Amino acid sequence: MPAIESPASRRASLLLAALLSGATLSVAAAQPPAPRAASPAAVAFVDVTVIPMDGERVLPGQTVVVRDGRIAQLGPAGSVRVPAGAEVVAGRGRYLIPGLAEMHAHLPPPQAGDTVMERTLFLFLAGGVTTVRGMLGHPQHLAVRERVARGELLGPRIYTSGPSLNGSSTPTPEAAARAVAEQKAAGYDFLKLHPGLARATFDTVDALADRLGLRYAGHVSAAVGLNRALQAGYASIDHLDGYVEAAAGHGDGFAPEVAGFFGFALTDRVDDARLTALAAATRAAGVWNVPTQTLLEQLASPEPPEVLARRPEMRYVPPQTLAQWTQRKRTFQQAPGFSPERARRYVEVRRRLIKALHDAGAPLALGSDAPQWWNVPGFSARRELELLVAAGLTPYQALATGTRAPAEFFGAQEEWGTLAVGRAADLVLLEANPLDDITNLWKQAGVMVHGRWLPQPEIERRLGG
């Protein structure tokens, strides 16, 4: 089906292409690592501390043997024999965790080219992300998904939506019905909803998607509102879309021009008592949330954009894109209705909502919306986890949103998301314990994806760092 984009989704595609096609991004990162002359029969992490993420526990002094893309053995170092010819990775003083899942990612549009796709996938891997959920799909992405699955292209496991359903692409219930049926037939993993859907159109999407067994995720349109979204049973609501509006008394819909950017203009009308009720209703509905707190918090935060531009991962962003991001933040801070105090309260409202959802048992999944303002693929997942901890989650609870929780979301608990014999060998090796301090995720010693070991020096070389 041809992709008919809304203005918002078209801007996202153009931003993505601009970010990832800039000449200042290392050319080395554009190509997957060259095949080794002789691939080892196995890789063994010896005397490593394992954080399996099947519970809040650590297993010190373990040896983990990987063969054929799977964890073949896991046990105390003294009881697990390292196979002859295995590549040995020293694990003493290091911590092995499951790879992260970025649940609100964007893959490049087709006009960006193969080189940009390879670069994007490698950036995700470089940040420890071994699974992505693509939230602005295209038919090309189906082929990329299969190439990665077959091992022809180095990258994280891919789940992808189709082209977004929005007020422009699906202006009527009839158009929506055709789009849902076509995307189901094409083999997309889920539907992506963008803003602008009329209530009758959304109702058609909901009914037909349920009938076809195709889940949908994304934005809550103004004509729909959070109450209907929860009743309908979104697979996930992204950006906490509709929650600030509902906490301000607009749960049955809202006027976008009144609500502002993700409800920012309604911040002063939020009734904090409603947050607990909304969290409970979300839990009862079984709806997941992917907060993308980085996207909103970095935009509304008080520091000048020059501070964000000095983050180490920004060296992978073209200067013209950094200039666009800088101007976007300045424009937001200079807009009518903005004040530092309102921005502070907006951030705090969202943080309290995240904590309320977690405390109510409403499931959360890690997602940062990368690439987007200040969010570099892979690296922004670490930033998002830091903000989840700032919202009141423990490091273990935050890390679970990016490991075991996404696997549960996809019904893939026996395949990935935890560290156990038989699971896919998608792993991150760290120099320090992330359960002590979530920022220890930045102390990365290497990444394994589909059983392929990428030590940190190789990652840095390919990134040009």
Q: At 399, is the secondary structure helix, strand, or coil?
A: helix
Note the pLDDT tens digit of each residue in 51-99.
999 999 999 999 999 999 999 999 999 999 999 999 999 999 999 999 9
E strand spans, 182-257: 191-193, 216-218, 236-238
Reply yes or no on whether the pLDDT at 27 is more than 80. no
Reading the block at residue 405, the tokens are 């929780």
Reply yes or no on whether the pLDDT at 24 is more than 90. no
Reply yes or no on whether the pLDDT at 165 is more than 60. yes
In angstroms, the CA 247 to CA 243 distance is 6
In angstroms, the CA 142 to CA 188 distance is 7
Predicted local confidence at residue 109, as pLDDT? 87
Reply yes or no on whether the pLDDT at 5 is more than 50. no
Least Cα distance to 367 among 333, 335, 341, 406 occurs for 406
In angstroms, the CA 75 to CA 107 distance is 37
Please, what is the angle between helix 272-285 and helix 340-360, to 10°?
Answer: 40
Q: pTM for the whole thing? A: 0.92
In angstroms, the CA 146 to CA 149 distance is 5
Reply yes or no on whether the pLDDT at 31 is more than 70. no
Task: Share the mean pLDDT of the chain.
Answer: 91
Going from the C-alpha of 74 to that of each of 58, 67, 310, 426, 450, the distances in angstroms are: 13, 12, 41, 14, 17
What's the average model confidence in pLDDT over 322-346? 93
Measured in whole angstroms, the distance separating CA 331 from the mean position of its chain's CA atoms is: 26
Predicted local confidence at residue 39, as pLDDT? 61
Reply yes or no on whether the pLDDT at 384 is more than 80. yes
In angstroms, the CA 114 to CA 116 distance is 5
Q: At 409, is the secondary structure helix, strand, or coil?
A: helix
Predicted local confidence at residue 4, as pLDDT? 30
Task: Give residue 397's pLDDT band: very low, low, confident or very high (50, 70, 90).
Answer: very high
Reading the block at residue 112, the tokens are 């960006």
In angstroms, the CA 33 to CA 407 distance is 27
Predicted local confidence at residue 416, as pLDDT? 98
What's the average model confidence in pLDDT over 112-121? 89
Measured in whole angstroms, the distance separating CA 389 from the mean position of its chain's CA atoms is: 16
Note the pLDDT tens digit of each residue in 425-435.
999 999 999 99
Note the pLDDT tens digit of each residue in 237-264.
999 999 999 999 999 999 999 999 999 9
In angstroms, the CA 119 to CA 115 distance is 6
What's the average model confidence in pLDDT over 205-217? 98
Predicted local confidence at residue 210, as pLDDT? 97
Note the pLDDT tens digit of each residue in 55-68.
999 999 999 999 99
Predicted local confidence at residue 18, as pLDDT? 46
In angstroms, the CA 199 to CA 232 distance is 12
In angstroms, the CA 397 to CA 381 distance is 15
Task: Give residue 14's pLDDT band: very low, low, confident or very high (50, 70, 90).
Answer: very low
Reply yes or no on whether the pLDDT at 281 is more than 80. yes
